[in-house]
Structure 1
Amino acid sequence: MNSSLPNENKEKAPQHTNGPQIVPAAAPSSGSNSSKGAAGPSSQYVVGVPPQQAVAPTWSTGLFECFDDIPTLIITAFAPCVTFGQIAEMVDRGQNSCGLYALLHAGILYFTGCGCLLSAYYRIKMSHLYKLPDDPIINILVHLICEPCALCQEYRELQARGFNMQLGVGWRNQSPEIQQSGGHTVPPKVPEGMTR
């Protein structure tokens, strides 16, 4: 590219960019220890706008916080198909009833003993839907090793997103806001002890 500015004026000409401004860093003080590897000329610039850090998606509760909701834990321990049916109905946005999903899970569990694979599929589906950690292998392993804990965690996640998860409510009896949004985003947790 040819420019009408002479070479010595190119350095002084203002640069117009749409990106972050690069500002020269302050010169190091003369008393700094240069034996620790002084920074070269390329590291004397500081970017004017810090890069935005993405927050890693997380579940609203931990996998082993089952005892926070004892009734759900008891139902899931003795009849995991009921909890699975409620979760699947919400994840599928009411395409089928809780009872149908529960019967499907119970049938697969009774005839093959692998009902956890169906519930793992819905955990993966829920992870994609709500942008949760969605490593499929981890999600399958969680259901293979401890399906009741996984189902309880998914149940609590839907509750945290505003769903009314009481047995018999179902998708059709959810509030219109929940039906339109499919579950609002959970606000980030604020550490305890912060006061104004």
Structure 2
Amino acid sequence: MTEKVAYGSWSTGLCDCFSDCSSCCLTFWCPCVSFGRVAEILDKGSTSCCLHGSLFYILAIFTHVGGCIYSWVYRAKLREAYGIEGHHCTDCLVSCFCPHLSICQEYRELKARGFHMSSGWDGNVQMQTRGVTSAPAVEGGMSP
């Protein structure tokens, strides 16, 4: 598991994309994939990465505002889930005017909190139940 992140703050800044070049490149070229992975984990696997990513792509292509709102909801959800300081207004502004940076920061945040992003929710649950040390410890529990 990666190092512990302080409760109440983001693990990286909004513009710290180069601290994790792989997530930066993924989000730049395929933001729908990064967003889908983030949303699946925040929804604890109730909806797939593919569904979230596809919906984000459709909303962002046909109406930028729709993509902003969808992204904003999950940024606020992540911030509230981990007690990260901030406001809904800031979440909205960042999601609308810096969508790639916002999604990349959210992706890095979940990685810093121990999630293996490409495994999705179910993969992370399986890693935890098999005793793999890289599985995340989540408040509220990750139960299969």
State whether residues 84 and 105 of structure 1, in contact with CA within 8 Å, keep that contact through their aligned partners in structure 2. yes
For normalisation by structure 2, the TM-score amounts to 0.80
Give me the whole-angstrom Cα distance separating, in 2, the residues matched to 1:171 and 1:147. 23
Q: 1:130 aligns to what?
A: 82
Kindly tell me: are residues 134 and 183 of structure 1, through their superposed partners in 2, closer, same or farther at Cα, counting changes over 3 Å? farther
For normalisation by structure 1, the TM-score amounts to 0.60
Give SS of 1:181's match: coil
Give SS of 1:116's match: helix
2:104 partner amino acid: C
Candidates 76, 86, 97, aligned match of 2:48: 97
Give me the whole-angstrom Cα distance separating, in 2, the residues matched to 1:153 and 1:119. 12
1:157 partner amino acid: E
Number of aligned residue pairs: 128
Q: Answer yes or no: is 1:170 the counterpart of 2:124.
A: no
Give SS of 1:163's match: coil
Q: 2:3 aligns to what?
A: none
Give me the whole-angstrom Cα distance separating, in 2, the residues matched to 1:110 and 1:145. 15
Structure of greater Rg: 1
Q: 1:181 aligns to what?
A: 138
Q: 1:74 aligns to what?
A: 25
State whether residues 7 and 83 of structure 2, in contact with CA within 8 Å, keep that contact through their aligned partners in structure 1. no
State whether residues 162 and 183 of structure 1, in contact with CA within 8 Å, keep that contact through their aligned partners in structure 2. no
Give me the whole-angstrom Cα distance separating, in 1, the residues matched to 2:57 and 2:90. 23
Q: 2:132 aligns to what?
A: none
Q: 1:58 aligns to what?
A: 9
Instruction: Give, in angstroms, the shift of residue 57 of structure 1.
Output: 1.4
Q: 1:7 aligns to what?
A: none
Deviating 4+ runs (over 3 angstroms): 177-180
Higher relative CO (Cα under 8 Å, sequence separation at least 6) belongs to: 2
Give me the whole-angstrom Cα distance separating, in 1, the residues matched to 2:138 and 2:76. 19
Instruction: Give, in angstroms, the shift of residue 78 of structure 1.
Output: 2.0
State whether residues 8 and 85 of structure 2, in contact with CA within 8 Å, keep that contact through their aligned partners in structure 1. yes
Aligned-residue Cα RMSD (Å) equals 2.2
Instruction: Give, in angstroms, the shift of residue 134 of structure 1.
Output: 3.4
2:122 partner amino acid: R
Candidates 23, 27, 37, aligned match of 1:86: 37
Q: Answer yes or no: is 1:121 the counterpart of 2:73.
A: yes
2:79 partner amino acid: S
Structure 1's unaligned 5+ residue stretches are: 1-54, 185-196
Once the two structures are superposed, what CA deviation does each residue of 1:32-51 show, in whole Å capped at 9, x if it has no partner? xxxxxxxxxxxxxxxxxxxx
Instruction: Give, in angstroms, the shift of residue 146 of structure 1.
Output: 0.8
Give me the whole-angstrom Cα distance separating, in 2, the residues matched to 1:159 and 1:179. 9
1:100 partner amino acid: L
More helix by share: 2
